[in-house]
Amino acid sequence: MKAIVYISGKVTGEDFLKTYLKFEKVEKGYPKEKWEVINPMKLCRVEWSWLKCMIVCIFHLFKATDMCMLPDWVNSRGAKIEHWIGKKRKLIIKYL
């Protein structure tokens, strides 16, 4: 059975392409044979509101067994919410 890791970091207010590539780099660091990766950059559409994206992302976060926190998570309201949920759910949290 594969572990499921959710990547969390700052998205709002950042350059879309740079942020997409940042999340993708982390995703590619997890071997596919051992991990299922939930990459929020691939869950939401650019035209969606922050709230709609958070609802979708949190729904997927509840499938996770682990979290990977990007260094900029501390500067993100959404990532702080995700982190709080991860702590409450007692997920294994890795900080980059």
Q: Residue 74 in 3-state DSSP? A: helix
In angstroms, the CA 66 to CA 49 distance is: 26
Q: Rounded distance, CA 94 to CA 3, Å?
A: 13
Q: Using an 8 Å Cβ cutoff, are 11 and 24 in contact?
A: no
Domain parsing of the chain, residue ranges: 3-95
Beta strands in 12-90 (DSSP E): 35-38, 66-69
Length of the chain, in residues: 96
Task: State pTM to two decimals.
Answer: 0.94
What is residue 1's predicted lDDT score, i.e. its pLDDT? Answer: 80
Other CB atoms within a 10 A radius of the CB of residue 62 amount to: 9
How does pLDDT run along the chain (96 residues), one tens digit per residue?
Answer: 899 999 999 999 999 999 999 999 999 999 999 999 999 999 999 899 999 999 999 999 999 999 999 999 999 999 999 999 999 999 999 999
Classify 3-95 by CATH class: alpha beta
